[in-house]
Amino acid sequence: MAKKPSQKWKLYEVKDGKVTRKNRFCPRCGPGVFMANHKDRWTCGRCGYTEWKK
């Protein structure tokens, strides 16, 4: 089976020549670890931290 290409380019956006991050960082793991944006929650893939959306 072939390896899927990286999808990291989806986590960043360029506005006015500056790079901005789309997703938030995990409060436990710190900067550099993105949280996954689900329909009803934010989840960290590294430590499992979850924040529920209202």
Considering the domain boundaries, does residue 37 fall inside one? yes
> Could you give the angle at the alpha carbon of 9 between the alpha carbons of 3 and 16, nearest 5°?
165
Give me the pLDDT at residue 18, please: 95
Considering the domain boundaries, does residue 8 fall inside one? no
| 10-residue averages of pLDDT along the chain (54 residues) | 86 92 93 93 96 94
Q: Which domain covers residue 35, as residue numbers?
A: 25-53
Give me the pLDDT at residue 35, please: 94
Considering the domain boundaries, does residue 44 fall inside one? yes
Considering the domain boundaries, does residue 5 fall inside one? no
**Number of domains comprising the chain:** 1
Q: Is residue 29 annotated as involved in ligand binding?
A: yes
Considering the domain boundaries, does residue 14 fall inside one? no
Can you spell out the DSSP letters for 18-40?
A: EEEESSPEETTTEEEEEEEE-SS
Considering the domain boundaries, does residue 4 fall inside one? no
Considering the domain boundaries, does residue 41 fall inside one? yes
Residue 10 CA to chain centroid, in angstroms? 9
Does this model's pTM top 0.75? My answer is no
Give me the pLDDT at residue 10, please: 85
